[in-house]
């Protein structure tokens, strides 16, 4: 086989640079003391401090966290029920039921956003953050369902049978055998859901109002109307948090492979 | 403590055990909440889009139920047809650039060690897990008229580049966001190619170019098709990238839909647009996949 040619290596490195250059510049300049974009005036945490003092930013973060925690918990519970029901029981036309669970992943987010806008418009009173919780739970349900189902498919149903042969009740077998084995998928799925919820812009943009702005919607308004180095700090912070969440979710799923 | 109830399993598959043991009520209890949830918060909203698309817009943006196809007919205006054509064009061009950019790096990835390949997959995935607004802002900041890129140019004595808020900037934003969707499937199918086929081609005096065109390219088709579908379908729905990178000057279908819903408040027309767009993308993809399969 021919050795890697220089041109191939170079163009691959160029692509990597294309992917990482903007992100690196953004992160570096979030620590810039200068008020002007391009001039570097030394390290400073000034923009982070200013960001923390910004009450709009704080309330958007709080909204994002509340919506993320509640919607990922709800979606995880519903997805686990759906995965157990479909995997552990006999279903006629199973693939149709599976498609019903899976389809929200395939439908464009903009369609779902538009649909939620129309749905919530049917409710006369103002639901505030509840709208976001309901929408994000729906967005997350199929994603976690896929993760838990994949794990459940790999689990040997005979483990639970063995526990019951040894005298465990149905509930005991589930809590002592199946649940601990499913735990990495459940926790990993919940973290993934939290990351997706924190990340979501399209649905939140259609569903939120001025009282229920989430972090990405807030960043959007800054990009449109109010650019300042603070946006660098906020973007960097969001980037780091997303990376941490996804990293832990992946580690948990990697662990799963060794069980 | 009570004496545990010892059950004796009968014969049959694991699945029949489960059914016998848990019985029908548990199956219903477990499946009903998620199914109801999806019916109310997923099927119902989509059905509403269809229903609303046949209504008319009231004077104050309310809905008048008159069951007509007016909103769909309105779409056949050169203005709106042009937006659809432009969206398809931008999606196709983005897909093409992504293929060109993704090929070298995907091929290079297959030549690395197993560990190296895993690290590269992670590196490719990181921008995908970055918020779309953070990604766009990073470019906006870098390329802005007084951003770091232009200050480097000026220090070199070159004229500054007014790149942001142009068509090219919109395209750059799309390519940047979609690239992982192309690299990962392409890498997956390149990785499966038996390297001895390439050696064989070289032994038979094929030039590098011939090897690429007649061995690698045909064998990478599944990845190319999957990547193209993912990239192409992701573009027309995105209204932020044209908004941020193009400074709201260049509208695609996603922008049109967003405007109809949130600015003009003509929900019937917005719903009709959303459905037309989904039919066009879905129909286009089905035709494309059919052709690929038969070819």
pLDDT tens for residues A1-19? 444 578 888 999 999 999 9
Q: Identify the pLDDT of residue B139.
A: 94
CA distance A115 to chain B (A): 4
pLDDT of residue B5: 44
Residue of chain B with shortest Cα separation from A20: B127
Chain A interface includes B284 (CB < 8 A): no
How many CB pairs below 8 Å do chains A and B form together?
244
Looking at CA atoms only, how far is residue A258 from chain B in angstroms? 17
Region label for A185, one of left (φ > 0), alpha (ψ between -120 and 50) or beta (otherwise) = alpha
Per the domain annotation, does B160 fall within a domain? no
Distance from CA of A189 to the nearest CA of B (A): 15
Q: Which of B30, B129, B148 sits opposite A85 (nearest CB)?
A: B30
CB atoms B261 and A114 under 8 Å: yes
Is B65 within the bounds of a domain? no
Per the structure, the count of domains in chain B is 1
Per-residue confidence of chain A (259 residues) as pLDDT tens digits?
A: 444 578 888 999 999 999 999 999 999 989 988 876 667 888 888 889 888 888 999 999 999 999 999 999 999 999 999 999 998 888 888 888 988 888 878 888 899 999 999 999 888 878 889 999 999 999 999 999 999 999 998 888 888 888 888 988 888 888 888 889 999 899 989 998 999 999 999 999 999 988 889 999 999 999 888 778 888 899 999 999 988 988 888 888 765 544 3
Domain ranges, residue A233: 52-256
Rounded to whole angstroms, the Cα distance separating A162 from B7 reads 11
Does B201 touch chain A if contact means CB atoms closer than 8 Å? no
SS3 at position B246: coil
Q: Is B35 on the interface with A (CB under 8 A)?
A: yes
The answer as to whether B8 is a domain residue is no
CATH code of residue A58: 1.10.3720.10
Q: Please tell me if residue B156 touches chain A, with a CB cutoff of 8 Å.
A: no
Portion of chain B with pLDDT greater than 90, in percent: 49
Task: Provide the total of helices (H) and of strands (E) in chain B, helices listed first.
Answer: 15, 2
Task: State the burial class of residue B36 (Cβ atoms within 10 Å of its Cβ: 0-12, 13-18, 19+).
Answer: exposed
d(CA B146, CA A38): 6
In a domain, A181, yes or no: yes
Closest by alpha carbon to B246, among B143, B173, B166? B166
With residue A193 as reference, give the H or E element that holds it.
helix A179-199
Residue B187 lies in a domain: yes
Q: Is residue B255 part of a domain?
A: yes
Residue B284 — φ and ψ, nearest 5°?
-60, -45
pLDDT of A80? 94
Note every long-range contact of B257-265, with CB atoms under 8 Å and residues 24 or more positions apart, other chains counting. Answer: B257/A110, B257/A114, B258/A110, B261/A114, B261/A117, B261/A206, B262/A206, B265/B57, B265/B61
Q: Which residues of A touch B131 (CB under 8 A)?
A: 199, 201, 216, 219, 235, 238-239, 242
Quick check: B134 and A219 CB within 8 A?
Answer: yes
Whether residue B257 lies inside any domain: the answer is yes
Q: Which residues of chain B have pLDDT under 70?
A: 1-24, 60-61, 295
Asked if residue B209 lies in contact with residue B179, where contact means CB atoms within 8 angstroms, the answer is no
Shortest Cα distance, chain A CAs vs residue B273, angstroms: 10
- The answer to whether B254 faces chain A, any CB pair under 8 Å, is yes
- Residue A32 is given by DSSP the state B
- CATH code at B270? 1.10.3720.10
Count of structural domains, chain A: 1
Whether B32 maps to a domain, the answer reads no
Question: By residue range, what is the domain housing residue B215?
Answer: 70-132+166-294
Total-model pTM: 0.87
Give me the pLDDT at residue A258, please.
Answer: 43
CA distance A236 to chain B (A): 8
Surface-to-core class of residue A226, CB atoms within 10 Å of its CB (0-12 exposed, 13-18 middle, 19+ buried): exposed
Q: Tell me, yes or no, whether A30 lies in a domain.
A: no
Residue B56 in 3-state DSSP? strand
């Amino acid at each position: 086989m021919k050795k890697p040619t220089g041109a191939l290596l170079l163009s691959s490195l160029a692509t990597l640079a294309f992917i990482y250059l903007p992100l690196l510049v953004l992160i570096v300049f979030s620590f810039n003391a200068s008020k002007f974009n391009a001039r570097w005036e030394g390290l400073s945490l000034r923009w982070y401090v200013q960001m923390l003092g910004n009450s709009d930013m704080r309330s958007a973060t709080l909204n994002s966290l509340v919506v993320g925690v509640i919607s990922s918990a709800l979606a995880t519970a519903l997805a686990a029920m759906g995965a157990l029901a479909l995997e552990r029981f006999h279903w006629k036309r199973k693939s149709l039921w599976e498609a019903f669970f899976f389809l929200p992943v395939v439908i464009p987010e903009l369609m779902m956003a538009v649909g939620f806008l129309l749905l919530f418009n049917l409710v006369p009173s103002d639901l505030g953050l509840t709208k976001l919780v309901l929408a994000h739970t729906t967005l997350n349900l199929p994603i976690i369902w896929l993760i838990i189902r994949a794990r459940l498919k790999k689990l040997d149903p005979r483990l639970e049978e063995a526990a019951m042969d040894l005298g465990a009740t149905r509930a005991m077998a589930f809590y002592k055998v199946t649940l601990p084995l499913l735990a990495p998928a459940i926790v990993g799925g919940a973290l993934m859901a939290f990351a997706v919820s924190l990340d979501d812009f399209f649905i939140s943009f259609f569903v939120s109002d001025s009282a229920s702005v989430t972090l990405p919607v807030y960043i959007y308004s800054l990009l449109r109307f109010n650019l300042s180095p603070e946006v660098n700090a906020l973007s960097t912070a969001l980037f780091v948090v997303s990376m941490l969440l996804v990293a832990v979710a992946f580690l948990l799923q990697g662990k799963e492979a060794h069980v | 403590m009570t004496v545990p109830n010892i059950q004796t399993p009968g014969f049959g598959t694991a699945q029949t055990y489960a059914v016998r043991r848990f019985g029908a009520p548990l199956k219903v209890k477990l499946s009903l909440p998620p199914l109801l949830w999806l019916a109310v918060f997923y099927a119902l909203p989509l059905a509403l889009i269809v229903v609303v698309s046949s209504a008319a817009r009231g004077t104050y943006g309310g809905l008048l139920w008159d069951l007509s196809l007016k909103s769909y007919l309105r779409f056949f205006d050169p203005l709106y047809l042009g937006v659809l054509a432009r969206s398809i064009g931008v999606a196709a061009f983005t897909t093409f650039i992504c293929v060109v950019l993704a090929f070298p790096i995907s091929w290079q990835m297959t030549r690395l060690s197993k560990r190296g390949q895993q690290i590269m997959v992670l590196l490719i995935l990181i921008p995908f897990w970055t918020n779309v607004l953070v990604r766009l802002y990073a470019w906006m900041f870098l390329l802005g008229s007084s951003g770091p890129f232009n200050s480097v140019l000026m220090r070199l004595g070159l004229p500054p580049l007014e790149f942001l808020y142009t068509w090219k900037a919109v395209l750059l934003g799309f390519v940047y966001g979609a690239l992982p969707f192309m690299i990962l499937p392409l890498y997956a199918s390149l990785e499966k190619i038996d390297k001895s086929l390439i050696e064989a081609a070289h032994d038979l005096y094929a030039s590098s170019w011939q090897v690429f065109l007649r061995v690698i390219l045909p064998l990478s088709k599944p990845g190319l098709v999957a990547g193209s579908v993912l990239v192409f379908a992701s573009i027309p729905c995105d209204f932020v990238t044209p908004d941020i990178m193009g400074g709201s000057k260049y509208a695609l279908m996603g922008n049109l839909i967003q405007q109809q819903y949130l600015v003009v408040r003509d929900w019937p027309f917005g719903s009709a647009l959303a459905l037309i767009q989904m039919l066009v993308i879905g129909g286009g993809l089905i035709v494309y996949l059919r052709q690929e399969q038969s070819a």
